[in-house]
Amino acid sequence: MAKESMKAREVKRAKLVEKYAEKRAALKEAGDFVGLQKLPKNSSKVRIHNRCQLSGRPKGYMRQFGLSRINFREMALSGLIPGIKKASW
């Protein structure tokens, strides 16, 4: 389980990305790299980490389902994910 502070940090980064998205795109088109450097570092979408929606785990993330591998396996074994069959895990 991820710390609440780590989850909050990711939410803060996501808000910064939304806030500066248009400004960042305009600066990139103009070729103003000095202006880009003056923006906050966390306003870049590259700095957002994918996290499991249930546990907040950053590693073993499955993008298609939005879950970590551990939660995916538990949900698949209990039959909560339709169309997934156990194949020798």
pLDDT (tens digit, 9 = 90+) per residue, 50-77? 989 898 888 999 999 999 999 999 999 8
Asked if residue 6 has pLDDT above 90, the reply is no
Percentage of residues in the chain having pLDDT higher than 90: 58
Q: What is the pLDDT of residue 85?
A: 78
Closest CA to 68 of 81, 57, 83, 84: 57
Return the CATH architecture of domain 50-89: Irregular (4.10)
Sign of CA dihedral 37, 39, 42, 48: negative
The pLDDT assigned to 41 comes to 92
- The domains of the chain are located at 1-49, 50-89
Query: Above 70 in pLDDT, residue 1?
Result: no
Whether the pLDDT of residue 36 is over 90: the answer is yes
